[in-house]
Amino acid sequence: MSTLHIITSGCADSVCLNERGIPCDSIGEIENLDSFSQSVEQSDAEWFLLTETMADARQIPSPEFLKVIQEKGATAWLAKSPGSFADFTMQTLGGTMASLWLPLWKAGSVLAPSQVFRSALEKSRSTYELLARLNWGESVAEASQEIDWEDCSIDLPELVPTKQRAELEQLMRPIRNLEELLPASYDRLSPDFTALKAGLFQWYDALEESHHCSQQAQHQGRHLGADYWHAIMHRREPDYSNSKYWFRHVGASPVFDQLLRYAQAISEEFASIKTWDPFAFVDYCSRCKAGSRQEIIARRIQAVEMVLLMRQTMLDAQR
């Protein structure tokens, strides 16, 4: 069996891997794309594993699983904590979009056959882009699982960000070249495709860039996705009256029913609500004090809202 090559920023549990009959070799660090690119070029491995650590037995692939992955020529993501927010995002958005959304190597392990990994690596300038270019061989899934908020290692967007997040620098190229990353089933000329970029910029607190994309597609799209992202942008600006103006344009979004169910699971404060009211949530966010329990609740609901809206925008951008 060929050696499984591991790219990690932590410690690979070689003992456990070898006990499973999987020879392994750590070849580089996640933070240094150039370093592990050279190691990949020199290796003869059949599989590559990108992970922060290999501390959890659930992340250790079996020889049988490796064989299936190799035969399919697809990429697998092994969740560190099934049921976590990262797992919810991955299952809801699929591998390509989730790769632009989260540092997947921190929330699990990314396993890819050598030919798939090498092909993506040749075209990539960042780890995020590398993962987005992998062949995930999946479609957008229905969001149905519960979220275990006790294990949330992902930084959730703030209600009122003061600056864009540092990760965005690595993501500017893949977001701007989103046309190259998504399957042919997406209509590149549709306003909903432009709304996808508004959502990606919004997640990384780049309000100005998100605003620009939303304006390009305003009042258009199957479910006015750009207008919804526009409303979120103004809620976070914060310009609460302007946010409500755009929510009036959105009307009844398909995400509202699911969002209500998740909000009710997050906090009993929403238990008695029969229908989701985006205007009431704008008011709720406006009353949140930094560091309060209400702010934590609002940020969790907002994060779920963004994931559900991104999924709907992805569906609407299909031909």
Tokens of 144: 């149905």
The predicted pLDDT at position 317 comes to: 98
- Percent of the chain scored above 70 by pLDDT? 88
Q: For residues 225 and 219, what is the distance between their CA atoms, to the nearest angstrom?
A: 9
Choice between 97 and 61, residue whose per-residue pLDDT is larger: 97
Distance CA 319, CA 212 (A): 24
Burial class (CB in 10 A: 0-12, 13-18, 19+), 244: middle
Give every CB contact of residue 2 below 8 A, 6+ residues apart in sequence.
Answer: 23, 44, 45, 46, 47
Q: Nearest Cα to 160, choosing from 27, 288, 67, 44?
A: 288
Convert the pLDDT of each residue in 230-270 to its tens digit.
999 999 999 999 999 999 999 999 999 999 999 999 999 99
Average pLDDT rounded to a whole number, residues 287-293: 96
Q: How confident is the model at residue 1 (pLDDT cuts 50, 70, 90)?
A: very low
pLDDT tens-place string over residues 72-121: 898 998 888 888 999 999 999 999 999 999 999 888 889 899 899 999 99
CA 21 to CA 66: how far, in whole Å? 11
Q: pTM, whole model, 2 decimals? A: 0.92
Of 15-29, 134-148, 156-170, the poorest mean pLDDT is in 15-29
Q: How far apart are CA 202 and CA 227, in angstroms?
A: 13
What pLDDT score was predicted for residue 15?
43
Q: Contact, 173 vs 180, CB < 8 A?
A: no
How do residues 182-205 score in pLDDT, each as one tens digit?
A: 999 999 999 999 999 999 999 999
